[in-house]
């Protein structure tokens, strides 16, 4: 399978899986998607598709073997096509998930609820950094290593210089830690991870900055939001000379390999539930997934899983008070908040528009991965254009127009047909901080289960939005250990005297306290773009140039 940009031109050649992984962001600023036309029918999908019987046949497989079966059709087998032979891919996946502490890797845990039918938490926090990002980033780190080693072996044999990759990423908290743990100590990779100073939890910051490996570089951007950090990353990728000079690669969920790896736990959750409640039966069970959503990558993986044949009843997008996605599903308009829209062009920060909440990994103004699902809807003919259903190009032209409007006028509105298709696929809900705290307190008091604030947003959404008739199970994606957000937990339950940190935090987080840290600070706030030195885009360029 080859990959194309969501903004690509007809003359653009599709790229291999290897190139899509190692670059992450397309040269035109678009995101890579499978180079197939998107049909209107899931059952006629030109993406790899499994029947229900084929899905059930995967139930006995351990997580890494399940991942191999699901990922294999998306990755060519021949190295000359940028692919990975079977044995190598199996090894990559086995090593990636060997770092998880639970035998199911991503277990599904029932939680008693009077308000949600068949409530379960899909615990995605049993990896090295106790967040869902580990599932994908352990894979991505090993893929980087594999492809670079292969390229460098060929270069050494031919007497050419060896390649080193400069991985660049922005984080609202969890991506940074997971990326760092996935890349630390790798000789052919140096990583620069940007985070908004003061807008990640203290534990998240410690997880990143306490990693002192020589190839890991944390950049704290003062006065910034995640969106500012992400804009800096995109600007550096949009600089052809800088990108080529340093072999830039993206680690954020804009990297296709991350989305692909995350589809696996949707299948795993379904198979675990089916084996418990419908063993020996061929019929599908009815499951909806509620997904705490910031950059749209996690719920996008659920969309792809559904397209691949998984019988998902519905996908519920759960946002906090930074609710651009919820507002889109309600109105069809994808617009930045008024504060961001009114900001002058030279403004260096979106901090006035992004609200600081108890769920900081979701404090995002613009959800980058939303571009991918819009492209698929458009390629399926949702725009009403006569030729969109048979060609991807009108979809790419529309996406390019939408993204231009987003950057110049702070938003866009889609046709009614496209909005209707989005609402038929996704439901949505916005949860306030007050609702988040109330949800944590409620479930701790009733069951003893401690929710992290992001997962609590998902549970609050599941309570607020009724499931379809006949739905048997609601699975909320548990995106992080509550131990990463003790302040929110204690605010909800009544303080540390009610529940000690060690009671809900894994040992790996408890041990972080007191460790030495290292980070470089650049600024973004209050500095005009043409005056930046060690600030913004130029400041991060300076850090990378000086370090290398």
Longest dimension (CA), the chain: 68
Beta-carbon contacts of residue 305 (< 8 Å; ≥ 6 apart) = 263, 266, 267, 312
Q: Is the pLDDT of residue 11 over 90?
A: no
pLDDT tens track for 380-419: 864 333 333 345 788 999 999 999 999 999 999 999 999 9
The pLDDT value given to residue 12: 81
38/538: higher pLDDT? 538
Beta-carbon contacts of residue 157 (< 8 Å; ≥ 6 apart) = none
Q: Is the pLDDT of residue 180 over 90?
A: yes
Q: Percentage of residues in the chain with pLDDT exceeding 90?
A: 81
pLDDT tens track for 280-319: 899 999 999 999 999 999 999 999 999 999 999 999 999 9
The pLDDT value given to residue 38: 39
Q: Is the pLDDT of residue 35 over 70?
A: yes
pLDDT tens track for 493-532: 999 999 999 999 999 999 999 999 999 999 875 444 434 4
Number of CB atoms found within 10 A of residue 497's CB: 8
The answer to whether 225 and 350 are in contact (CB under 8 A) is yes
Residue 97 — pLDDT band, cuts 50, 70, 90? very high
Q: Is the pLDDT of residue 41 over 70?
A: no
Residue-averaged pLDDT of the chain: 90
The pLDDT value given to residue 352: 57
Residue 341 — pLDDT band, cuts 50, 70, 90? low
Backbone angles phi and psi of 115, in degrees to 5? -110, -15
The pLDDT value given to residue 529: 41
The answer to whether 325 and 505 are in contact (CB under 8 A) is no
Q: 151-163 burial, b if ≥16 CB within 10 A, otherwise e?
A: bbeeeeeeeeeee
Residues paired with residue 131 on neighbouring β-strands, in sequence order: 480
The pLDDT value given to residue 536: 85
The pLDDT value given to residue 531: 42
Listed range (30-44, 167-181, 251-265, 444-458) with the worst mean pLDDT: 30-44
Residue 337 — pLDDT band, cuts 50, 70, 90? confident
pTM of the model: 0.92
Listed range (107-116, 163-172, 333-342) with the worst mean pLDDT: 333-342
Enumerate the active-site residues.
Answer: 133
The pLDDT value given to residue 350: 57
Residues paired with residue 314 on neighbouring β-strands, in sequence order: 288
The pLDDT value given to residue 340: 52
pLDDT tens track for 47-82: 899 999 999 999 999 999 999 999 999 999 999 999
The answer to whether 477 and 175 are in contact (CB under 8 A) is no
Residue 345 — pLDDT band, cuts 50, 70, 90? very low
Give the mean model confidence (pLDDT) for residues 189-208. Answer: 94
Cα–Cα separations (whole angstroms), residue 289 to 167, 254, 306? 32, 22, 11
The pLDDT value given to residue 347: 43
Q: Percentage of residues in the chain with pLDDT exceeding 70?
A: 91
Number of CB atoms found within 10 A of residue 473's CB: 24
Query: How far is the C-alpha of 453 from the C-alpha of 204, rounded, in Å?
Result: 14
Give the mean model confidence (pLDDT) for residues 188-210. Answer: 94
């Amino acid at each position: 399978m080859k990959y194309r940009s969501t903004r690509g031109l007809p003359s653009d050649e599709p790229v291999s899986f290897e190139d899509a992984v190692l670059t992450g962001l397309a040269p035109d600023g678009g995101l890579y998607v499978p180079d197939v036309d998107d049909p209107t029918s899931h059952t006629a999908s030109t993406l790899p598709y499994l029947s229900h019987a084929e899905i059930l046949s995967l139930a006995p497989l351990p997580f890494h073997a399940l991942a191999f079966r699901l990922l294999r059709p998306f990755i060519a087998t021949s190295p000359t096509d940028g692919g990975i032979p079977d044995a190598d891919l199996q090894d990559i996946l086995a090593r990636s998930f060997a770092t998880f502490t639970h035998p199911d890797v991503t277990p599904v845990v029932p939680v008693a609820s009077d308000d949600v039918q068949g409530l379960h938490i899909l615990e995605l926090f049993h990896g090295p950094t106790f967040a869902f990002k580990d599932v994908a980033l352990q894979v991505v780190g090993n893929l980087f290593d594999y492809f670079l080693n292969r390229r460098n072996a060929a270069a050494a044999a031919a007497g050419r210089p060896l390649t080193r990759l400069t991985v660049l990423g922005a984080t609202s908290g969890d991506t940074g830690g997971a990326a760092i743990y996935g890349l630390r100590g790798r000789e052919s990779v140096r990583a620069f991870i940007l985070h908004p100073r003061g807008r990640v939890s203290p534990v998240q910051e410690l997880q990143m900055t306490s990693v002192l490996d020589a190839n890991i570089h944390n950049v704290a951007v003062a006065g910034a939001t995640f969106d500012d950090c992400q804009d800096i990353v995109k600007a550096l990728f949009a600089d052809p000379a800088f990108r080529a000079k340093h072999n830039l690669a993206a680690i954020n969920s804009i990297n296709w390999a991350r989305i692909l790896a995350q589809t696996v736990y949707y299948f795993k959750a379904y198979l675990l539930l089916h084996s418990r409640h419908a063993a020996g039966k061929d019929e599908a069970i009815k499951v909806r997934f509620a997904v705490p959503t910031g950059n749209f990558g996690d719920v996008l993986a659920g969309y792809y899983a559904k397209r691949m044949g998984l019988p998902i009843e519905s996908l519920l997008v759960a946002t906090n008070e930074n609710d651009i996605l919820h507002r889109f599903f309600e109105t069809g308009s994808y617009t930045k908040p008024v504060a961001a829209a009114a900001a002058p062009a030279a403004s260096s920060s979106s901090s006035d528009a992004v609200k600081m909440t108890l769920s900081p990994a979701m404090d995002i103004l613009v959800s980058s991965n939303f571009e991918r699902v819009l492209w698929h809807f458009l390629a399926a003919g949702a725009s009403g254009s006569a030729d969109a259903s048979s060609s991807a190009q009108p979809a790419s032209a529309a996406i390019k127009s939408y993204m231009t409007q987003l950057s110049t006028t702070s938003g866009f509105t889609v046709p009614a047909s496209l909005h209707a298709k989005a609402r038929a696929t996704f439901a949505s809900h916005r949860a306030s901080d007050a609702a988040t705290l109330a949800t944590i307190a409620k479930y701790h008091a009733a069951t003893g289960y401690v929710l992290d604030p992001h997962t609590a947003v998902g549970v609050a959404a599941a309570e607020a939005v009724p499931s379809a008739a006949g739905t048997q199970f609601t699975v909320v994606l548990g995106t992080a250990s509550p131990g990463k957000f003790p302040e929110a937990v204690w605010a909800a339950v009544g303080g540390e005297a009610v529940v000690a940190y060690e009671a809900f935090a894994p040992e790996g987080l408890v041990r972080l306290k007191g460790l030495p840290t290292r980070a470089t600070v650049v600024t973004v706030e209050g500095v005009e773009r043409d005056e930046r030195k060690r600030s913004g885009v130029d400041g991060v360029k300076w850090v990378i140039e000086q370090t290398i």
